[in-house]
Amino acid sequence: MGIDLALLWAIIILFGILMYVIMDGFDLGIGILFPFVPGKEDRDTMMNTVAPVWDGNETWLVLGGAGLLAAFPLAYSVILSAFMLPLIFMLLGLIFRGVAFEFRFKASDARRHWWDKAFICGSVTATFFQGVTLGAYMHGIEVAGRAYAGGPLDWISPFSVFTGLGLLAAYALLGCTWLIFKTEGELHDRMLKLARPLVWTLLGVIAVISIWTPLTHASIAERWFSLPNFFWFAPVPVLVLLAAYYLLRLLPRQPHAGPFVLTLCLIFLGYSGLGISIWPYIIPPAISIWDASGPVQSQGFALVGALLIIPMILIYTAWSYYVFRGKVAVGEGYH
């Protein structure tokens, strides 16, 4: 045999979702933070920091879906039909968020507040239901034969609502530190003040999930707390604490890119933690990536494209960020 196609595809999809969480995370975070910044000029600036890139950021979500369909059609059909309602709520949120970028500047002054609200509600809705879906996914999906066997509302649980709220905190921190990175002046200072409570909130969320999941799922407790796993995975929580410590220390020192980079580390570590808990199940709690694999012919064909093209995508995406590098100043050239 040689190449483990299922493993490679799992890595590609996990990478795609991570890229999405990070990149659309700060876009959505800006929408979540909008209510804390009432001024129109500041809001213009906030949107301008992501206007040229949000569409590319969102594309990683489409790659996640398409990759899942290509490589693990069973997982795609079961997971998506299990979470039909929260996913459609998320999509509707993303619709309002996405069109607000153009519509907000097109509307008359009297109507603009509607698209501000659409941007806020869209971002919050999309984030919350992504988090809810994540929580429900961790919890597991009932399968009979090759189809989802649960009810339409099985995704609602205290845990999934908590992860929904938790993701709001995570994206808010991403958006906040992104703005520290990309703005200056009053907006920059305001974000510096917001960052501290957000870091503590996110740490709280991570702590609660780290306690909650092993208590309710024996397999997750086994994964983390058995030997020698405990020593292999211990660096994850240790690094979370280190990153948070440096982040909090950095905030009073008029930082720029630093808090954003450290938040990326936090998000990456949290994401890894969830991955460690679930691996190698693609439909928790019982169907592994190998069980859910599509035909070799499909995985192989799509893999060639993914391996050739993803590096090119990363290069021209980086170029696009480079073109729009630097601080977005407040109020300049705008009347």
Query: Which segment (29-37, 53-61, 158-166, 191-199) binds another protein by CB under 8 A?
Result: 53-61
Tokens 């859910």 — which residue?
292
- Amino acid code (one letter) for 157: S
117 contributes a contact to another protein by CB under 8 A:
no
73 contributes a contact to another protein by CB under 8 A:
yes
70 contributes a contact to another protein by CB under 8 A:
yes
Q: Which is nearer to another protein, 80 or 242 (CB)?
A: 80
What count of Cα atoms within 13 Å lies in the side-chain half-sphere of residue 99?
Answer: 13
Q: Which is nearer to another protein, 170 or 303 (CB)?
A: 303
98 contributes a contact to another protein by CB under 8 A:
yes
User: What does DSSP assign to residue 328?
Assistant: B
- Amino acid code (one letter) for 277: S
Query: Which segment (44-52, 133-141, 246-254, 265-273) binds another protein by CB under 8 A?
Result: 44-52
Q: Which of residues 315-334 bind another protein (CB under 8 A)?
A: 316-317, 319-320, 323-334
81 contributes a contact to another protein by CB under 8 A:
yes
User: What whole-number distance in Å separates Cα of residue 121 and Cα of residue 134?
Assistant: 20
* Residue 295 neighbours by CB under 8 Å, 6+ apart: none
Site string for another protein, 147-166 (x = CB under 8 A): xx---x--------------
Q: Contact at 8 Å (CB) between 275 and 14?
A: yes
Tokens 């600036």 — which residue?
45
Q: Which is nearer to another protein, 76 or 281 (CB)?
A: 76
56 contributes a contact to another protein by CB under 8 A:
yes
49 contributes a contact to another protein by CB under 8 A:
yes
Tokens 């949000």 — which residue?
54
Q: Which is nearer to another protein, 71 or 240 (CB)?
A: 71
Q: Which is nearer to another protein, 277 or 299 (CB)?
A: 299
Exactly one of 84, 211, 215, 241 binds another protein (CB under 8 A); that residue is 84
What own/partner pairs with CB < 8 Å and gap ≥ 24 does 288-297 have?
A: 289/6, 289/7, 289/9, 289/10, 289/72, 290/6, 291/74, 292/72, 292/74, 292/75, 293/5, 293/6, 293/9, 293/71, 293/72, 294/70, 294/71, 294/72, 294/73, 294/74, 296/5
Total number of residues that touch another protein (CB under 8 A): 81
Please, what sign has the CA dihedral across residues 209, 211, 216, 219? positive
Q: Which is nearer to another protein, 101 or 233 (CB)?
A: 101
The interaxial angle of helices 185-216 and 218-225, nearest 10 deg, is 110
Smallest separation, CB 145 to another protein (Å): 10
Query: Which segment (25-33, 96-104, 191-199, 228-236) binds another protein by CB under 8 A?
Result: 96-104
Site string for another protein, 270-309 (x = CB under 8 A): ------------------------xx-xx--xx--xx--x
Exactly one of 62, 207, 234, 257 binds another protein (CB under 8 A); that residue is 62
- What does R_g of the chain's alpha carbons equal in angstroms? 20
Q: Which is nearer to another protein, 180 or 209 (CB)?
A: 180
